[in-house]
Amino acid sequence: MMNTTSAIPIDGAMETPWTLPYRGTVGMACLIVAEAAIFIIFIVAYIYYIGKSLSGPTPAQVLEMPIFGTICLLSSSITVHFAVSALRKQNLRTCTIHLAGTVLLGSIFLITTAQEWYHLIHTEGLTIRTNLFGTTYYSLVGLHASHVVVGLIMLSLTLCFALMGRVTEEHSEKLEVLSLYWHFVDGVWVVVFLVVYVLGR
């Protein structure tokens, strides 16, 4: 054992309250900034290559607005918000129902994306190799979809814990951190939707 003494400045008299931001929220905010930078690069590449493909098919020929999937994904932001506020009010049952709703809506979005890709690949013959549109479309939408998958895995885990009765009011801060991520994924979709399906067509 190594024993030494140290003199540490303390101040018992200081009574001013000392509160710092919750580290989970700060950490998630940092992650969101970093992820946003990644998405911006992919979006810049998408916009830069609009109309630069040397061969077809073009977005106008093959893309359809995924209205239903978009409504589902954006609604899931509302349900996850209700899940957090229910947990804060110690209303575990409502929280579980809203979590389940979020997972369901997120999954429906993924299914609509999968159907869209299936259609594009099998009917239209558009793959990531076909042209610049295929390259940028699949990578941007795929990058977003992979974030949806990660979010869904974490939400499903939370749902499992909630069903097992392991989620309590003290976890509301942590659930809020997760909901921040989910809101971010939804927000990115708004941008991707505007760029790919509105601007790009």
Partner 1 sequence: MTTTPVIEAIDETAASHGRPPLNVVYEWLTTVDHKKIGLMYIVYALIFLVIAGFQAILMRIQLAVPNNHFVSPQVFNQLFTMHGTTMVFFVGMPILFGFGNYLIPLMIGARDMAFPRLNAFSFWISAFAGVLLYFSYVGGSGLYAAGSAPDVGWFAYAPLTAKVFSPGHSTDYWTLAVFLSGVGSIGTALNIVTTILSMRCKGMTMGRMPLLVWLYLVMASLVFVTVSPLTAAQIMLTLDRYLGAHFFDTQAGGSAVLWMHFFWIFGHPEVYVLVLPAFAFVNEIVPVFSRKAIFGYAAMVAASVGIGFISLSVWAHHMFTVGLGPAGNTFFVFATMVISVPTGIKIFNWLATIWGGKVIFAVPMMFCIAFIFQFLVAGLTGIMLSAAPFDWQLGNSYFVVAHFHYVLVGAILFALFAAFYYWYPKVTGRMMSEKLGKWHFWLFVIGFHLTFDFMHIPGLLGMPRRIYTYEAGREWETLNLIVGIGAIIQTIATLIFVYNLVRSYFQGEVAGHDPWDAWTLEWATPSPPPSYNFAVDPTVNSRRPLWDLKHPEDSDTGYE
Cα separation, 64 vs 91, in Å, equals 41
Cα separation, 186 vs 159, in Å, equals 19
Cα separation, 167 vs 132, in Å, equals 46
Binding track over 25-54 against partner 1, x by CB under 8 A: -xx--xx-xxx-xxxxxx--x--xx--xxx
164 binds partner 1 (CB under 8 A): no
Chosen residue from 60, 122, 123, 129 binding partner 1 by CB under 8 A? 129
Cα separation, 43 vs 140, in Å, equals 7
Work out the number of other CB atoms within 10 angstroms of the CB of residue 29: 14
Please, which residue, 51 or 165, has the CB nearer to partner 1?
A: 51
6 binds partner 1 (CB under 8 A): yes
Cα separation, 49 vs 69, in Å, equals 25
Chosen residue from 70, 112, 136, 158 binding partner 1 by CB under 8 A? 136
Binding site for partner 1 (CB under 8 A): 1-14, 18, 20-23, 26-27, 30-31, 33-35, 37-42, 45, 48-49, 52-54, 128-129, 131-132, 135-136, 138-139, 143
